[in-house]
Amino acid sequence: MSLYADFRKDLSFIEKELEQSIDSSSPVIRQASLLLLRAGGKRIRPIFVILSSQFGEYSMENVAKVAVSLELIHMASLVHDDVIDDSDFRRGFETVKARWNNRIAMYAGDYIFSRALVSIGEIEMPAVHQLLAETMLEICKGEIIQIEYQQQTNQSFRDYLRRIKRKTALLLSSSCELGALVSNATPETVGKLKRFGYFAGMAFQIVDDILDITSTDEQLGKPAGSDLLNGHLTLPTLYIKDDPEFQPFLLRSFDGSLTEEERGLMLTYIRKSGAIEKAQQVSNMYLKKAIAEVESLPDGEAKRALLQIAAFLGKRKF
């Protein structure tokens, strides 16, 4: 991504550290971890750590430990999510559970999680660990609640927002907060960056949920509409969940009886319903809030990059 250009060197360093951190003595764990690492991803958490750390006393050593740890926690959660969702593909790559089985995926996820703690364990700052531990527990709580809501149509917008806060926004918010904390940024700056991460994270997840409907299977590397097929209502579908023409699609998605042809018809129906535009407006509202937090920070490359990322998040197509 060209907007990372100014920080490419830092990101390359983190990428190497990531690879080293999962260099397991177990051949299967090593292969599984590399499979995940090479599937890529946007590395948005590491970049948020790098950029936030620029507002304090930047130390690449500490920044890398935090960035590696956060990306590993994210990766570990994806391996376990694929077990929960019974997903065979992610970003077009075979998942660990599909290549091997659920148990290997459980052990690989637990291994990657342990490596995240090894990485951050070297930072002797209580606030950093307490924040990360709370973040992890909240994310997990969010996933448990998501299972409670699975295949339930009586959900409110508030339920959805609370869910995506835990699912995505918290880790991005913590990425910014931790980057600022390890660089000893002022409490005021830490607060602004934390809020930036939170608002950007909310927008990011809403756009992700939109893309699940508007993208093709090839672009997503998995079937479009997977959220509904897995029993999850997202913002666009919340707008039309009571629409009598949409309801049969919704119920058949949830009970697993939706045919391929019906999936196509359902996606077309949602795209034409106006729900996508409404969801996009909510995402834009969060992005505006994110930008407002950053605007009062000192000028520089990091501020410019954060603003560019916020603009990109609103328009991204992948």
Partner 1 sequence: MDRQTINRSIQNYIREVEQSIQEPIVYRDLGKMPLDTAKAFFLLLPMLNGEDWSSKLNTSAIAVGAVHAAFDVHDKVDIFDASSKEQQLMVLSGDHFSGIHYRLLSSLPDFLLITNMAEMIGRINETKTDLLMEKTDGISGIIESIIRVESGCIGEFHERYGFSKYSKIAKTALGLIWFVKKSMKDPSIERGWTSQIIKNADVDSAISILTSRLQEELAKAGFLTPFLKQEIHRMATPLLEKPI
DSSP H or E stretch at residue 93: strand 93-94
The distance of closest approach from Cβ of residue 253 to partner 1 in the complex, given in angstroms and rounded to an integer, is 15
Phi, psi angles (nearest 5°) of residue 90: -140, 130
The distance of closest approach from Cβ of residue 110 to partner 1 in the complex, given in angstroms and rounded to an integer, is 5
The distance of closest approach from Cβ of residue 21 to partner 1 in the complex, given in angstroms and rounded to an integer, is 10
Judged by CB under 8 A, the residue of 8, 141, 162, 288 near partner 1 is: 141
Per CB under 8 A, 162 contacts partner 1: no
Residues 233-262 touching partner 1, rule: CB under 8 A, are: none
Judged by CB under 8 A, the residue of 57, 61, 88, 122 near partner 1 is: 122
Per CB under 8 A, 20 contacts partner 1: no
Among the listed residues 312, 309, 249, the one whose alpha carbon sits nearest the alpha carbon of residue 49? 309
Judged by CB under 8 A, the residue of 5, 137, 265, 292 near partner 1 is: 137
Residue with Cβ nearer partner 1 (244 or 256)? 256
Residue with Cβ nearer partner 1 (135 or 280)? 135
The distance of closest approach from Cβ of residue 49 to partner 1 in the complex, given in angstroms and rounded to an integer, is 18
Cβ 200 vs Cβ 309: under 8 Å:
yes
- The end-to-end CA distance of the chain, in Å, is 11
Phi, psi angles (nearest 5°) of residue 250: -60, -50
DSSP H or E stretch at residue 65: helix 60-85
Cβ 279 vs Cβ 239: under 8 Å:
yes
Among the listed residues 215, 214, 247, the one whose alpha carbon sits nearest the alpha carbon of residue 233? 247
The distance of closest approach from Cβ of residue 232 to partner 1 in the complex, given in angstroms and rounded to an integer, is 12
Residue with Cβ nearer partner 1 (28 or 307)? 28
Q: Pattern of binders to partner 1 over 62-101, x per CB under 8 A? A: ---------------x--x--xx-x--------------x
- Which residues, other chains included, contact 31 with Cβ-Cβ below 8 Å and sequence gap of 6+? none
DSSP H or E stretch at residue 90: strand 89-90
What are the tokens at 20? 């080293």
Per CB under 8 A, 19 contacts partner 1: no
C-beta pairs of 144-147 under 8 Å, 24+ apart in sequence: 146/232, 147/84
- Using CB under 8 A as the binding criterion, the count of chain residues that bind partner 1 stands at 46
Q: Would you call 59 helix, strand, or coil by DSSP?
A: coil
Q: Which residues bind partner 1 (CB under 8 A)?
A: 24-29, 77, 80, 83-84, 86, 101-104, 106-108, 110-111, 113-118, 121-124, 126, 129-130, 132-134, 136-137, 140-141, 143-145, 147-148, 150
